[in-house]
Structure 1
């Protein structure tokens, strides 16, 4: 199998699958991506989508590889929908041990969902944060995005994040609106 010079790790089980040295129940393959069923699926139709090139996690991901993975993910999600008629679908990526990443090779899980399936609710019950906390967190993320964009001019970033001064102008409107539940 030609991986076009893609870097691989000999001790990575997903690199072994991508190269064809290890078997898997493959459902899709392109020049850059392979998708297969996990050994212990969460639900029927649960599928993993990986880049063939070894990329440890989301924080090492490049745009070209992510585009290939996401294009395949869209196609495969629709195939799972047509094959199993689920009530919904989770698209899951875990980066780092704290997020339950168990294989150090970027992958997304497509998990078909049905009402009352064994997966249950993925999000804990939490209280919404107050406007001050939300504004501070949004500001921290926006500043970090701007710093990353300024540092890495090779990546196409067609939109910039709002500045703190933009937030101040819209703060009364933001306080008037109810917090949005981002869990769904």
Structure 2
């Protein structure tokens, strides 16, 4: 869940204006800025002003305000730069290459033939059995969370092959 600010968080410092950033948008709850090392022309980060470490800890209200800001900025990028497409990416945890533990949404404008290349689909598809197993595990977890019993695991960890 959201916390006010964490003193040593780089993005909290930006949200309190204690660190510089090339801001492109700001509201009461969110802000957007160009990262120090953009992946593409127009690459923009959108963050909540309150500290939330990652997607797993993002509350519905903060998430809605964050997505509202992302949509607004994405449309501004589309108008300003006329990209052929856009990636919206967030990383949760070090395995997903999250390096700053304050949730942020990457808006990455894309052009046909750009230097980033294809992100999806994978070169080899998953087997139907793996897809069915993963879908079942996720469905069960959604039902458990919806019923308020989020602490009960419907499947044992490792039942689904994720590699």
Calculate the TM-score normalised by the size of structure 1. 0.76
Matched, 1:57 2:54: yes
Q: Which runs of 5+ in 1 are unaligned?
A: 154-184
**Counting helix residues as a fraction of each chain, which structure ranks higher?**
1
Matched, 1:118 2:115: yes
Calculate the TM-score normalised by the size of structure 2. 0.86
SS in 2 for 1:75: helix
1:91 to 88, 100, 103: 88
Residues of 2 paired with 1:42 and 1:82: CA distance?
19
Cα distance change, pair 124–65 in 1 and its aligned pair in 2 (3 A): same
Q: How many residues align?
A: 149
With CA pairs under 8 Å and 6+ residues apart, which has the higher RCO, 1 or 2?
2
Q: Contact 2:3–2:52 (CA<8 Å) still a contact in 1? A: no
Residues of 1 paired with 2:96 and 2:120: CA distance?
13
SS in 2 for 1:82: helix
Find the counterpart in structure 1 of residue 106 from structure 2: 109
1:127 to 110, 124, 129: 124
Structure-to-structure mapping, 1:7-22, within 5 angstroms: 7-22=4-19
Residues of 2 paired with 1:10 and 1:54: CA distance?
10
Find the counterpart in structure 2 of residue 100 from structure 1: 97
| Shift of residue 149, structure 1, vs aligned partner | 1.5
Matched, 1:47 2:44: yes
Q: Contact 1:6–1:52 (CA<8 Å) still a contact in 2? A: no
